[in-house]
Chains A and B, each alone.
Chain A
Amino acid sequence: MTITENQMLKNDYYELSDDELEVLFIIDTDPIMRTRLQKISLLYSKIFDTEKESHGAYFFGGYSDNIDEASDELVDKGIIQETNQGYVITDYGIKLKKMLIEGLEDSDDLITGIANIKKSVSELDDKSIIGLTYHFFEETTTNSTIKASVDRYNKRSIYDGKSLDQISLDEFINKLKKGTVIHRGG
């Protein structure tokens, strides 16, 4: 018996896990590499999901196995696809996302929170995002093999005219919560 697309949408609407929802709301029509996905997810968890220690200190900084598995699940379900440029949402995924945005209640943090974080870092390249997570969430970098390199990179990094030492964690988090675009340089 063939399942119609509407039936599939309904199934996925109800069956997506929290991690899968998180990944779905991070990924869009512009490709996003795995690292960037992980770091945005890390920022989301540090701001909105502080009770859940979702990201461990791995060889390349903060990383979540759950987010990785969720991404693979979404690829298997045809909701996102992985290309050489990174993950991108499929047409089916777009329809599902629209259904979810209309239907999810009490999910401001998930939908709006992620949207604001993405907007905030939209002008930054992957290296800058990595640098910021290493600076502000050092506990996730204890096992990193690139920590020294990232620290050197951070020492000469300027964001909105300030060095990282001049930006407090609260200031950084507020920008992410409000969706204030962060610029590298002056």
Chain B
Amino acid sequence: MSYYSKLVYYLKIDILIVVLLFSYLRKYLFLLRMQCNDTMTASRKVNDEFILKPCIVSLIDVLGSSELLLRGIRQDNEMYLRNLSNMFKFAGKYYPSDQIKTFSDNILIYDEDIEDGDSKLSKMVNSVAQMQYQTVCDLGLLLRGAIASGGLYHSPNDSEFDDFTIGDGLVTAYNLESKKAIHPRIVMQDKLARRFLNGDGDDSLLRKQGSVYYLDYLQTTLVDGFPDESLLSNHRDALIKHINTNNAVEKNEKWDAVRLKDVWCLSYHNDFCSRYDAEEYIIDYTEAFDSKGDCIEISVRGRY
């Protein structure tokens, strides 16, 4: 082979080697990129699935459930369960089902707290106040709860575990409901209350008792600042019926706690009537020992 031919021959081999190397390198880089994408996608998926999103959270407890259920009277249980189910439906009028979780006699309603959070906060306060009024009047049930803001994770509807909900927002709402609410009222976290009062929401929906803000839900009976008397009358009648129903049951060691809750509701109703010149809807009541002298009952006076 001549020198020139040898040169061409070896050059071709070199070119071939370079081309082969390049193609392997390309393949390797392609595979590497694919692997990176998968890792990033997996990571993003993990991040999207399991994050605590900032939410406005309402946790509401229906009072009197344990006493009623432990009495074990079938008729009462059936009516109670029906009422509870209806109460959950009330929530469904304001929020879609994927923003409502229920467990036992508790209901959790949440909404993402986005930058334009004030309208969402307003909506939550208005909706819960309406719900509270409706629940008392239509179902004779008293509520206790709290509205707070914080992180919340909730499992999507198609997840393996339904209703997996957790977060510091829920913990805060639970702590407020169990430690601060005390009476049949829905309290609000301080910083959230200040935010609501500084925003465009209806200030009158929040009232302060001592250091605690709570929903003044009877404000929902007002039209242009005047009480709609049919709505106030409904509330009065519902409370009286509730008191009479409680009086008729056999009293146990928890009776005083029940009575105190009822007294708070009566006081709240009467205070509202006084504030808005609706004195004729005030409920006249006394607390006195029953005929046997065993316990203190609430007696409603006058004809209604």
Q: For the complex, is A145 an interface residue (Cβ under 8 Å from B)?
A: yes
Instruction: Kindly specify which of B64-72, B86-94, B125-133, B218-226 makes contact with the partner chain.
Output: B218-226
Nearest CB of B to A104, in Å: 32
Residue pair B229, A148 in contact (C-beta under 8 Å): yes
Among B225, B228, B278, contact of A145 (Cβ-Cβ < 8 Å)? B228
Residue pair B224, A60 in contact (C-beta under 8 Å): yes
Nearest CB of A to B242, in Å: 24
Q: For the complex, is A85 an interface residue (Cβ under 8 Å from B)?
A: yes
Q: For the complex, is B200 an interface residue (Cβ under 8 Å from A)?
A: yes
The CA of A148 and the CA of B229, in the complex, are separated in Å by 8
Instruction: Kindly specify which of A109-117, A149-157, A159-167, A175-183 makes contact with the partner chain.
Output: A149-157
Q: Can you sample 18 A-B contacts with CB below 8 Å?
A: A35-B224, A60-B224, A84-B200, A85-B200, A127-B224, A127-B225, A127-B226, A130-B224, A130-B225, A130-B226, A145-B228, A145-B231, A146-B227, A146-B228, A146-B229, A149-B226, A149-B277, A150-B226
The CA of A130 and the CA of B223, in the complex, are separated in Å by 11
Given contacts A60-B224, A127-B224, whether A149 and B276 have CB atoms under 8 Å apart is yes
| CB neighbors of A among B222-266 (8 A) | 223-231
Chain B contacts to A: CB under 8 angstroms: 200, 223-231, 276-278
The CA of A85 and the CA of B231, in the complex, are separated in Å by 26
How many chain A residues sit at the interface, stated as a range, is 10 to 19
Given contacts A84-B200, A85-B200, whether A145 and B223 have CB atoms under 8 Å apart is yes
The digit string for A118-161, where 1 denotes a CB below 8 A from any CB of B, is 00000000110010000000000000011011101100000000
Nearest 10 CB-CB pairings of A with B:
A149-B226, A84-B200, A146-B226, A145-B228, A127-B225, A149-B227, A35-B224, A146-B223, A148-B229, A152-B277
